Each structure stands twice: as C-alpha cells, then as structure tokens.
Structure 1
Amino acid sequence: MTTAIRNAILITAIGMLLGACASKGQPTAQYDFGPLPLPQAQAPAAIGAVIVADVVGPAALDTERMQYRLLYADARQSRPYAYNQWTATPFQLMTQRMKARIAQAGVKVLSTTDAAASPTVLRMEVNDFAQNFDSATSSAGIVSLRASVFRNHKLVDQKTFSRSSPAPSPDAAGGAQALAAATDAVTADVLAWLTALPSQ
C-alpha cells in the first residue's frame, strides 16, 4: 500500500468520525400537543365526577421517540425520527390532554387514587398513534383508541374511536400538529359519548 493511498484512507476515516460527532451534537427538537383549544360546550351536570385512568397501549409507543410510517414503501415498518422527540410518551401526553379537555367541559376529573370519590371510571387503550405518509409529501396523524366506562366495577359501555388529521408539513413538526389535532378530535368524541351514557 502506497503512502498516498494510506493517507487517503486515514483522511476518509477521520472525516467519517468527525461527521458522526457532528451529527451527535445536532440539537433535538421536542414537541408536545401545544395549548388547549378554546372550550367547547359544557357537559351536562349529571355526569358529576369521573375517574380518568392513565391511557395505556402497546409497548412500542411507550417512548418519547417520534415515529412515522411510509405506507407507500412498507406499512408494517415503524421508523423513528433521528432528531425529534416528544416531551413525554404519547400515553402521558394523551392522558394529560384527555383530563384537561374533560375538565374544561365542566366535568370533575379525578385520579385512580380518588376511587372512593366517584363510582365512574373511564379507561382508554390506544390502538394506533402514528404519522402515516401516503407519499413523500403527504401525511396524516392517526389516533385510535378503545374507551371503556365502568360504574361500581361493572362495565357500562365500551366503544372504539378513530380520528385522522392531515399534517401541514411532511416532517416531525407537521406530525406533532396532526397528532395533537387528532387527539383533540378523539377526546371530543369520547366526551360526547360519555355525556350520552345513562347516569345510573
């Protein structure tokens, strides 16, 4: 191996190392659902107090990493954004949002530690929470969950809710905005369903 070739390999290796270090130093953008939208109509007073359990779901979503799917390439593969993440897990963000929106509607929201204060419990399990790309420039935030209402430890009703919201841009920022909008829409649906259930 000549000296020139050896030097070229060394320079290339150093360049790759510096590139890796530089990429590690790239700042990470963090997203949440943003401020609450304007309050909607007040819920009927008959609802009273509701215990809202923490949202649960698949282990793959129990992380702050933001993920997306390329439906036009391989819909079965979930891909993480390299330099973008949530400020908390999607389950934590959804729990906070659900409680805030339900309370905003005039319903007293309690935690599971206040079990003696209300016989009504709302439990929610996420089926899907994703930014799906139909093409390289078009995506939407998809939120699907199953909600169950228990009263005095007995199932009153159960229903699945799904909403989709277009992303304003084909990136993590657009995905965060779309998923926040889809979550708010699902929350409104859950609240409307909750208010329509019999009080007894």
Structure 2
Amino acid sequence: MKKVAPQTHSVKSISLVLVLMMALVGCSTSRSEGAIRVYDFGPAPLQAALAGPASLATLVLFEPQVSSALDGNAVLYRLAYADAQQLKPYAQARWSMPPAQLISQRLRQQLGLQRVVVAPGEGVGQFNLRLVLEEFSQVFDTPAASHGLVRLRVTLSQRNAGGEILLAQRSFVVQQPAPTPDAPGAVRALTVASDQLAVQIEAWLAQP
C-alpha cells in the first residue's frame, strides 16, 4: 500500500501539468484570434513597376485632405440598410497608414508611368494636383451584400509667375463589390476601387 501513494501523487502532478498546458494553449489561441490585422494595398500593379521614361510635364501631387472621420487607420463600414449616416470601424482591422496616404501612394505610382510626380517641396512642377478624400468605406446594402466606395474630388491647376490658374475640377466615384461581408472583403474591394480610381485620374489628366 505504501508504494501506491507516490504513483497517485505522480498521476495528479501529470494531470496538473496537462491542465496548465491546455490553459496556455487556450490563451495563445485567444490572443491570436483577437489580434489586430494590419492591411495595405499590396504591391503596385505590374505596369507601374515597369514604368518607362517620363514623357509628360512634371506634376506636384498634394496629400489628400480628409474629414476627421477619415483621418485615421480604421477600416470603416456603413450599414446603408439600417443607418447610412453612421461610419463604424472594424474592431480588429487597421490600415497600415491613413487611407488618404495609401491613395496618394498608389496615385503617385500610376501617374509616374508617364511623368515625374513630386511632393510639395521636392521640386518644381508645371501643374499642381490637389485631392479631397470624401468617402472611403465599405457600404452594406444588405447584411450579406456590400461594396467598397471611394469618392475623391480632384483639382488641377497650372503654376505661373503670379501663382496658380485653375484648369479643371472633377469628382471621381468608384464602387467595387466586396467578395465577403467582413473586414478582409472591405480591404480587397477598397484596394481594387483605389486602383481603378488611379487609372481614371490618369486618363482624365491625359485629355487635351
């Protein structure tokens, strides 16, 4: 009988170790599921990576102006079927930088295919391009169907000795269906919409 006690104690010790290990695994899984995911637009389109020599006039690209609602890193959505006036953030998703900067970066890559694009203070350009980001969110038409919506107002002006001359202004609106009704779906839809937006602005600037 005296030999049984150590074995019982050993079984209890092993059971305690197993319980502790399961608790640690559970904590690790919980932390992983609750971790904030950070997104960007991914690599530049192939044609931007293979850009040739610049052939058009140098353009000064200003950082987009935004409202306070869009001046952050949150991935935002609207429930159009319930309360379209309220922007809501996903709790576990963030952009790597404010959307205005992501759009500016992508636009610089696209416009840089045929011209030199500089930021204010980096150099002197013949034209100025100013942007106002008015909407950048995932819009839910129903609980299961949504789309990415980007709305950007663009103003083109020409520099001269006396200042600037307004040449044109246009609002661009791009919608892209979201593949899934969640944050990853929002990111994919808004990325594609932003790429389409950059192409549209490039085509607009190329008009005579």
Q: Is the TM value for this pair above 0.5?
A: yes
Alignment of 1:1-200 (within 5 A): 26-39=34-47, 47-103=56-112, 105-115=113-123, 117-152=124-159, 153-197=164-208
- Specify the structure having the higher radius of gyration (Cα): 2
In 2: Cα distance, 1:132 partner to 1:183 partner: 15
2:69 is paired with a residue of what secondary structure?
Answer: helix
- Give the CA deviation at 1:83: 0.7
Output the amino acid matched with 2:108. Answer: K
- Give the CA deviation at 1:137: 1.2
In 2: Cα distance, 1:44 partner to 1:33 partner: 25
Alignment RMSD (CA, Å): 2.5
- TM-score, normalising length: structure 2: 0.77
Structure 1 unaligned blocks of 5 or more? 1-21
Identify the range of structure 1 (146-155 vs 22-31) with the bigger mean alpha-carbon deviation. Answer: 22-31
- Contact kept, 8 Å, 1:44 with 1:195, in 2: the verdict is no
Aligned-pair identity (%): 34
- Contact kept, 8 Å, 1:47 with 1:195, in 2: the verdict is no
Output the amino acid matched with 1:84. Answer: A
In 1: Cα distance, 2:97 partner to 2:141 partner: 27
- Give the CA deviation at 1:158: 0.6
Output the amino acid matched with 1:185. Answer: Q
In 2: Cα distance, 1:189 partner to 1:92 partner: 18
- Mark the CA change 1:43 to 1:140 in structure 2 (over 3 Å): closer, same or farther: farther
2:102 is paired with a residue of what secondary structure?
Answer: helix
- Mark the CA change 1:130 to 1:43 in structure 2 (over 3 Å): closer, same or farther: farther
In 2: Cα distance, 1:35 partner to 1:81 partner: 23
Q: Deviations over 1:170-190 (max 9, x none)?
A: 110110110011111111111
- Contact kept, 8 Å, 2:154 with 2:170, in 1: the verdict is yes
In 1: Cα distance, 2:54 partner to 2:87 partner: 43
- Give the CA deviation at 1:80: 1.0
- Give the CA deviation at 1:141: 0.4
- Contact kept, 8 Å, 2:152 with 2:171, in 1: the verdict is yes
- TM-score, normalising length: structure 1: 0.80
In 1: Cα distance, 2:151 partner to 2:108 partner: 17
1:39 is paired with a residue of what secondary structure?
Answer: helix
Q: Deviations over 1:88-116 (max 9, x none)?
A: 1111111111111111x22111110035x
